[in-house]
Amino acid sequence: MDAPMLAVSRSYLDRVLSHQLALSVERGAAAPLGLLQVAETLGGVDWQPARMDLDETLARLITEIPEAMRGGTAVETVLRKSGELADLKVVAQSWFETVQILRRR
C-alpha cells in the first residue's frame, strides 16, 4: 500500500505494535506474517501484547513534543492546518493510524 508516513519515536512505535498485538490476541487472530520480518529488522523481538491506555498515551505523546512546538504560534499553526489531514484517506485506512488504534480500546 502506498500510504503517506510520518516519523514517530521508537517508544511510540513499540507501544503501537504491542497494542496491535493485544488486539489481535483478543480477536483470536494471528499477527501479520510480515511483522516477524519487521521485528527482526527493527530489533523488536521482545514486543509483547499490551493495550495502550488513551490518557497515558496522550500524556506520553505530549511530553515527546519539543518545548518550542508547544508554544502559542506552533499550536496555532497546527490547528490552522489540521483540516488538511482529513484528505489523507489512505492513512485513515492504515492500522498504524493512531486514531483507529485508540478507538478500538
In a domain, 1, yes or no: no
In a domain, 4, yes or no: no
The Cβ of residue 24 has, within 10 Å, a number of other Cβ atoms equal to: 16
In a domain, 27, yes or no: yes
Please give the residue range of the domain that contains residue 80: 10-103
In a domain, 99, yes or no: yes
In a domain, 32, yes or no: yes
Q: In the structure grid, which three cell numbers stand for residue 20, read together?
A: 496491535
Torsion, Cα 67 70 72 74, to 10 degrees, reads 100
In a domain, 98, yes or no: yes
| Cβ-based neighbours of 64, under 8 Å, separated by 6 or more | 9, 11, 12
Give 7-28 pLDDT, tens digit per residue.
888 888 888 889 889 988 999 9
Total number of domains constituting the chain: 1
Among 24-28, 63-67, 68-72, 98-102, the minimum mean pLDDT is found in 98-102
pTM, rounded to two decimals: 0.55
In a domain, 2, yes or no: no
What gap in Å lies between CA 65 and CA 68, rounded to an integer? 8
In a domain, 5, yes or no: no
In this prediction, residue 65 has a pLDDT band, given cuts at 50, 70 and 90, of confident
Among candidate residues 79, 83, 92, the one with its CA nearest the CA of residue 4 = 92
pLDDT confidence of residue 28: 93
Q: In the structure grid, which three cell numbers stand for residue 21, read together?
A: 498485538
Residue 38 identity:
V
